[in-house]
Structure 1
């Protein structure tokens, strides 16, 4: 996702989409870390791998924004889950929401960028997030496992 210093400037609309994607990655990491307190060991192993993936994405966006002279948005101290998290199923539902939000944010990056490297990064992130979403929808018994148009409300 890095931007060459000699390359064309990144339009403000693209920067805003990247900032929203970064904010969604911050929120997803918070959700995953909270979920670890509620999920069974086999789900926790999967959650830890997902934390690594989101940490990598967060780092890539932060680097890209810094390289184009933008200050990356900071994480919030806490986020509001869509419903109270009281057990494994509600924690899994929170992770479904987090992955859904990150897919939408990455879709926005693809739609608001004309630069091939950013569009490719957005597609790759959307694809990976959709795989994680499928896992969490499966373990929380949601159907369909993969929505018809991931990232679209």
Structure 2
């Protein structure tokens, strides 16, 4: 999922970030089965982080009276994930895409909401960097996390 248009306001921006969190959780189910040892542990940790962010967003949107988008039964992967290399590539991509949704939410939020969005963007950027390092991809960092390439 990549942000297509600018969200109309904070609730819409956060709903789009929630949809990205749903997709990230689903993707980590596919990613994890192709990894072993430390990488599998990292995938479980990443999935747990996305689940926590999802749960917090659902509560936040619900408490504010905003519409909470439903999760889908499944998501289309951008390419087949059949081995460790493709799983690591997807882990980087899912973190970058999710970071993009959080980056898109920043101008539509203020105060505590903005701090949460920035923390989420940062978390995704750090995980993407770690996945790039694990995959031995260079450069391991990007100048503007969450920005389309």
Same-fold call, TM cutoff 0.5: yes
Give CA deviations for 1:101-136 in whole Å, capped at 9, x if unaligned.
1101111111112x2111100111111111111111
Following TM superposition, by how much is the alpha carbon of 1:71 offset from its aligned partner in structure 2, in angstroms? 2.6
Structure 1: 4+ residue segments shifted above 2 A: none
Higher mean C-alpha displacement, 48-57 vs 11-20: 11-20
What do you get for the CA RMSD once the two structures are aligned?
1.3
Partners of 1:125 and 1:99 in 2: CA distance:
10
Residue aligning to 1:26:
22
User: Which of 87, 92, 114 matches 1:91?
Assistant: 87
Partners of 1:41 and 1:81 in 2: CA distance:
24
Following TM superposition, by how much is the alpha carbon of 1:12 offset from its aligned partner in structure 2, in angstroms? 4.9
Following TM superposition, by how much is the alpha carbon of 1:100 offset from its aligned partner in structure 2, in angstroms? 0.5
User: Which of 29, 37, 43 matches 2:39?
Assistant: 43
The answer as to whether partners of 1:38 and 1:86 remain within 8 angstroms in 2 is yes
Residue aligning to 2:61:
65
The answer as to whether partners of 1:82 and 1:97 remain within 8 angstroms in 2 is no
* Larger Rg computed on CA atoms: 1
Residue aligning to 1:13:
9
User: Which of 108, 116, 124 matches 2:119?
Assistant: 124
Partners of 1:20 and 1:53 in 2: CA distance:
17
1:111 aligns with 2:107: yes
Partners of 1:118 and 1:109 in 2: CA distance:
9
* Aligned 1:133-144 pairs, distance under 5 A: 133-144=128-139
SS in 1 for 2:58: helix
Structure 2: unaligned runs, 5 residues or longer: 1-6
Residue aligning to 2:143:
148
Following TM superposition, by how much is the alpha carbon of 1:78 offset from its aligned partner in structure 2, in angstroms? 1.1
Partners of 1:134 and 1:68 in 2: CA distance:
33
SS in 1 for 2:9: helix
Residue correspondences, number: 142
